[in-house]
Amino acid sequence: MPYRKGRYPWILRAQASVLCVLVFIATAERCAAGGFLPSGLTYVWWRFDKPEFEDLQIDFEILGEIPQKPGLYLQFYQGEIGDIGFYFGLQTDVYDPDRGWRGKGILFSRWGTRDLANVRSVSSGWVQSSGHEGDFVGIRRNYAWTDHRYRFHLARVDEDGEGVWYGLFLLDYDTGSEDYAGAIRFPKRENRSPKVRDGGGTWIEVYSAAGGPDDLPYVHLSISGAYADHRRTPARRAVSNYSNVENTDVFYDSESKRIHMLFGKGVTRKHEAGRLF
């Protein structure tokens, strides 16, 4: 685990790798790397100084094309809605239980249930339910993301007697097109509507088709903003951390107000883990 809880007490309890839920379904060839997979690479943990909120947006840019292999997960927020863990992001190769690996796409998952009544996928997407690393359900869809500027938007979209539904949207700033990935229901507790908790993280992981750090392609991800409350509340603090994979680097450019996350071929770590802003 990359973080020691005592160092940054506001960071979420769930810091272990979540992509093991995908590795068990990979082929023997893809899992031949042994202990290297899955491996977290770079981490940024956010603090909005607001205990909870119902709207989260993250602006980012992918600088350069990223290949389908090895399997990479650009995980833009892992946190909790109410007391239920969740995460969402982009993968280079998304798994479909019925059709196998399907290339680039969007993921959104929550823990604490196997009941597919808690997920709503789009017509072109699919759902997943598993008991690995704890019970979870999720929505997936193909999306040919590339070297563009994007915005992930997680927002409350519906409510029923059992809980609140949060939907996930991805806007391509370069084309002006926004796509909907689907929604997941989070349960109420004592008639209280669940909200997104402060203190979640953005991180990157390699989960398939890599035998070690030398197999990682060069990747440069830039995050230009993280916002709560319909962009009214920007992140107040951000803290970086690393795994034991050395060809990784994270830094903050105060002029452009961007966080840069780099890893892979040719990357040398130049910045220590810690407070970014």
- Please write the tens of the pLDDT for every residue from 83-109: 999 999 999 999 999 999 999 999 999
Of 31-35, 156-160, 205-209, 237-241, the poorest mean pLDDT is in: 31-35
Residue 13 maps to a domain: no
Digit-coded pLDDT (tens) for 38-81: 999 999 999 999 999 999 999 999 999 999 999 999 999 999 99
Question: Which one-letter DSSP state was computed for residue 216?
Answer: P
User: Mean pLDDT throughout 245-255?
Assistant: 97
**pLDDT at position 3 over 60:** no
Is 83 in contact with 104 (CB distance < 8 Å)? no
Determine the Cα–Cα distance for residues 195 and 182; give it in Å rounded to an integer. Answer: 18
**pLDDT at position 16 over 70:** no
What percent of the chain is modeled with pLDDT above 70?
Answer: 88
Mean of pLDDT over the chain: 89
Residue 8 maps to a domain: no
Of 24-38, 144-158, 167-181, 201-215, the poorest mean pLDDT is in: 24-38
Residue 26 maps to a domain: yes
The first and second tokens of residue 183, run together, are 């929604």
**pLDDT at position 27 over 50:** no
Residue 55 maps to a domain: yes
The domain total for the chain is 1
Task: Return the SS3 of 35.
Answer: helix
Categorize the per-residue pLDDT at 34 as very low, low, confident or very high, splitting at 50, 70 and 90: low
Residue 63 maps to a domain: yes
Residue 175 maps to a domain: yes
The per-residue pLDDT for 35 is: 78
The per-residue pLDDT for 191 is: 84
**pLDDT at position 14 over 70:** no
Domain with 105 in it: 20-275
User: Mean pLDDT throughout 3-11?
Assistant: 35
Residue 15 maps to a domain: no
Task: Return the SS3 of 34.
Answer: helix
The per-residue pLDDT for 12 is: 37
- Tokens 């229901």: give the residue: 185
**pLDDT at position 2 over 50:** no
Categorize the per-residue pLDDT at 22 as very low, low, confident or very high, splitting at 50, 70 and 90: very low
Residue 135 maps to a domain: yes
Q: Is the bond preceding 9 in cis, omega lying within 30 degrees of 0?
A: no
**pLDDT at position 26 over 80:** no
Alpha-carbon separation of residue 117 from 41, 82, 191, 216, 236 (angstroms):
34, 18, 20, 37, 36
DSSP letters, 175-231, are TTEEEEEEEEEEE-BTTBPP-EES--EEEEEEEES-SSGGGPPPEEEEEEEEEETTT
Digit-coded pLDDT (tens) for 122-170: 999 999 999 877 899 999 999 999 999 999 999 999 999 999 999 999 9
